[in-house]
Amino acid sequence: MPIKKKEKINVLLISEGTYPFYGGGISTWSHMLCDRVSNVDFTLYSINAGFEKEPIFELSENVKKIIQVPLWAPDEPQDYVSFSKEYYKVVSKKENTSPEVIEEHFVPVFRKFLDLLYSGSEDMKALDFVFRSMWEYFKNYDYKETMKSEEVWLVFQEAAIQEADNNGIDATLFDLTVGLRWLYRFLIPFSIPIEKVDVSHITLSGFPLIPALVSKYRYGTPLIITEHGVYVRERLLYINRSDYSYFIKVFLIKLTECITRLSYYKADKILSVNKFNITWELMYGADREKIEITYNGVDHERFVPREKPEHLRGIPTVVAVARIFELKDVLTMIRSCAVVMKTIPDVQYLVYGDKNAVPEYTEECEALIEELSLVNNFFLKGFHSQPHLIFSEGDISILTSISEGFPFTVLESMSCGIPVVATDVGGVSEAIDEESGFVCKPRDPEAIGSKVIELLTNDELRDEMGKSARQRVIDNFTLDIFIESYENIYESVYTKSLKKKKQSS
């Protein structure tokens, strides 16, 4: 008997620190999916640091529900989750959770998890069993009572001190407290029930995996990962630059690698937004047969060539769209402006993007602008509500990131007929070819600046590259191509899961 086609597929879209409460590339991507994919109803599972009152996006009617999980705000995991008549179960869990129960039913599982974590084990079958056992436990017993118990603290302390001794690392009481606090917060989704959906879709190969596992363990829900920037790579960059102690750095790196490996192991489909990511995915155990490249796309009928605003005509102008934080390497962008100014004294860099993402980094950028005497040349303009109008302000655009997926800002600029000077990270060189812009080595302001000068001083080359850039988007990276790909993927993954369940029943 043939499987009856469902009118709409129910997808749980799980994000961390992005859609629908924050901006950025992943939020842009998520909003396009929710707004334009016609065969799906979405439930948004939003993992954030704190509780957010209102989405910053106008949500499509395809979005049926938002589940918000603020990891670092509430004392209780359930504080901001609606359970309605399930409340009595929460009370019952507390009453059932005793030191004896924790010692007998949770401590052995938790100890095994720590063994796998600290050893850097690649035995994903064992890790999967441990995580499933944790989920089974938290169905019946209270999360807070367990994770804040003396029994759990002693096991964690023992394992952490042994790890420190084995590696000749000092581990202070503060280190141990911070380490267990991280685990407490990031494992919270194991304690939160999820309604049945047809497909889970996570936006990175990190901690959004945990609610997807809950759905997979409970209902057998298939899992899709879309890999934008490589999560594990970006976390390694962040952790290594951080002020954490050496013990905490090692702990967080191992935790990140552990979750990434399990994400790839449990995924039914891994969608990479570029070819670059695949090397990292394979390095962390992904099955090549699961991986498919699905490029981002933009609305080429909205992002169109426009006249340069009158007040900027005659001024050599470089535009950028970037949240001001470390991965965008705005410091290198500023230094490239200093290089360009030596040849083009009246050049202006206009950078649009949230200045509050990492305030201390914004202050560092502002200090460098002052130090290099660029206050009349380099401007941090803040958030712009109409991104399709930004690129016409520039003769060219620029991106100086040290990590990217398949950046929308590059595609948007190209669609507007504005050539791009960008760093060779992620899928940038897959978007920009030699006829549509320049790709430079990251953290090289001299090389970046020289290409900016070349484009600003050669009108014919700039015009030719702008036309080629727009045509390249129309041929390869339109919103229609992007949306059709995801409609087909959702349909395929859902249908395959139905067949699998039917065969096993």
pLDDT at 76 (0 to 100): 56
> What is the C-alpha separation between 458 and 21, in angstroms, rounded?
42
Q: What is the mean pLDDT of the chain?
A: 94
Look at 216 and 170; give whichever has higher pLDDT. Answer: 216
Residue-wise pLDDT for 391-437, tens only, equals 999 999 999 999 999 999 999 999 999 999 999 999 999 999 999 99
Q: Which residues contact 482 (CB under 8 A, 6 or more apart)?
A: 32, 294, 295, 296, 297
Mean pLDDT lowest for which of 36-45, 68-77, 157-166? Answer: 68-77
Cα separations in angstroms, 90 against 109, 333, 340:
22, 52, 62
φ, ψ at 15 (rounded to 5°):
-130, 165
pLDDT at 357 (0 to 100): 85
Indicate whether 301 pLDDT > 80: yes
Indicate whether 81 pLDDT > 60: no
Q: Is 476 in a helix, a strand, or coil?
A: helix
Quickly tell me which residue has 């891994």 as its tokens.
Answer: 270
Cα separations in angstroms, 237 against 205, 326, 327, 381:
16, 10, 9, 27
Residue-wise pLDDT for 171-203, tens only, equals 999 999 999 999 999 999 999 999 999 999 999
Q: What is the mean pLDDT of residues 152-160?
A: 98
The CATH class for the domain spanning 310-477 reads alpha beta
Domain covering 1-73+194-297+478-505 in this structure, CATH number: 3.40.50.2000
Residue-wise pLDDT for 232-255, tens only, equals 999 999 999 899 999 999 999 999
Residue-wise pLDDT for 318-362, tens only, equals 999 999 999 999 999 999 999 999 999 999 999 999 999 899 999
pLDDT at 83 (0 to 100): 47
- Burial of residue 254, with CB atoms counted within 10 A of its CB: 0-12 exposed, 13-18 middle, 19 or more buried: middle
Cα separations in angstroms, 98 against 95, 106, 168:
8, 11, 36
pLDDT at 86 (0 to 100): 56
Domains 1-73+194-297+478-505 and 310-477 are alike in CATH topology: yes
Q: Find the distance separating the first CA and the last CA of the chain, reported in whole Å.
A: 14
The residue among 336, 305, 307, 309 whose CA lies nearest residue 454 is: 336
Residue-wise pLDDT for 21-71, tens only, equals 988 889 999 999 999 999 999 999 999 988 888 999 999 999 999 999 998
Q: What is the mean pLDDT of residues 79-89?
A: 52
Q: Rg of the chain's alpha carbons, rounded to an integer?
A: 24
Indicate whether 89 pLDDT > 80: no
* 18 neighbors 229 (Cβ within 8 angstroms): no
* 315 neighbors 346 (Cβ within 8 angstroms): yes
* 375 neighbors 369 (Cβ within 8 angstroms): yes
Within a 13 Å sphere around the CA of 441, how many CA atoms are in the beta-carbon half? 5
> What is the C-alpha separation between 423 and 435, in angstroms, rounded?
16
pLDDT at 474 (0 to 100): 98
Q: Which residues contact 405 (CB under 8 A, 6 or more apart)?
A: 25, 227, 228, 229, 273, 274, 277, 296, 426, 427
> What is the C-alpha separation between 143 and 251, in angstroms, rounded?
22
Q: What is the mean pLDDT of residues 165-176?
A: 93
Indicate whether 489 pLDDT > 60: yes
Q: Where residue 85 falls among pLDDT bands split at 50, 70, 90?
A: very low
Question: Angle formed by the axes of helices 150-167 and 107-119, to 10°?
Answer: 20
Q: Where residue 87 falls among pLDDT bands split at 50, 70, 90?
A: low
Report the percent of the chain where pLDDT is more than 70: 95
**What is the domain partition of the chain in residue ranges?**
1-73+194-297+478-505, 82-189, 310-477
Indicate whether 167 pLDDT > 80: yes
pLDDT at 502 (0 to 100): 84
The model scores a pTM over 0.75: yes
Mean pLDDT lowest for which of 101-110, 145-154, 379-388, 449-458? Answer: 379-388
